[in-house]
Amino acid sequence: MKVLVINCGSSSLKYQLIDSDSEQVLAKGLCERIGIDGRLTHRPAGKDKVEMEVPMPNHTEAVSLVLKALTDKDHGVIGSLSEISAVGHRIVHGGEKFNSATILNDEVLKEIEECNDLAPLHNPANLIGINACRELMPNVPMVGVFDTAFHQTMPRVAYLYGLPYEYYKKYHIRRYGFHGTSHSYVSKRAAEILGKKPEDLKTIVCHLGNGASICAVKNGKSVDTSMGFTPLEGLVMGTRSGDIDPAIIEYIARKENISLTDVIDVLNKKSGIQGLSQESSDFRDLHAAAAKGNVNAQIAIDVFSYHVVKYIGSYAAVMNGVDVIAFTAGIGENDPIIRANVMGYLNYLGTELDPVKNDCRGEERIISTDDSKVVAMVIPTNEELAIARETVALVK
Produce one character per residue of 235-245: b if its CB has 16 or more CB atoms within 10 Å, e if not.
bbbbbbbbeee
Sole binder of ligand ADP in the list 10, 12, 131, 210 (CB under 6 A): 210
334 touches ligand ADP (CB under 6 A): yes
CB of 57 to ligand ADP, least distance (A): 26
Are the beta carbons of 353 and 376 closer than 8 angstroms?
yes
Known active-site residue 302: no
Cα angle 183, 336, 195 (rounded to 5 degrees) comes to 45
Are the beta carbons of 9 and 60 closer than 8 angstroms?
no
329 touches ligand ADP (CB under 6 A): yes
Sole binder of ligand ADP in the list 13, 112, 331, 343 (CB under 6 A): 331
4-12, 90-98, 209-217, 222-230 -> range binding ligand ADP (CB under 6 A): 209-217
State whether residue 151 is helix, strand or coil.
helix
Task: Identify the H or E element spanning 167.
Answer: helix 165-171
CB of 210 to ligand ADP, least distance (A): 4
17-25, 249-257, 291-299, 326-334 -> range binding ligand ADP (CB under 6 A): 326-334
238 touches ligand ADP (CB under 6 A): yes
330 touches ligand ADP (CB under 6 A): yes
What is the amino acid identity at position 261? Answer: T
Task: Identify the H or E element spanning 205.
Answer: strand 202-208
Residue nearest to ligand ADP (CB): 330
40-48, 204-212, 217-225, 308-316 -> range binding ligand ADP (CB under 6 A): 204-212
Nearer to ligand ADP, 20 or 277 (CB): 277
Are the beta carbons of 225 and 204 closer than 8 angstroms?
no
Produce one character per residue of 115-140: b if its CB has 16 or more CB atoms within 10 Å, e if not.
bbebbeebbebbbbbbbbbbebbeeb
Exactly one of 37, 72, 117, 147 is catalytic; name it. 147
CB of 333 to ligand ADP, least distance (A): 8
- The contact set with ligand ADP (CB under 6 A) reads 209-211, 238, 281-284, 329-331, 334-335, 361
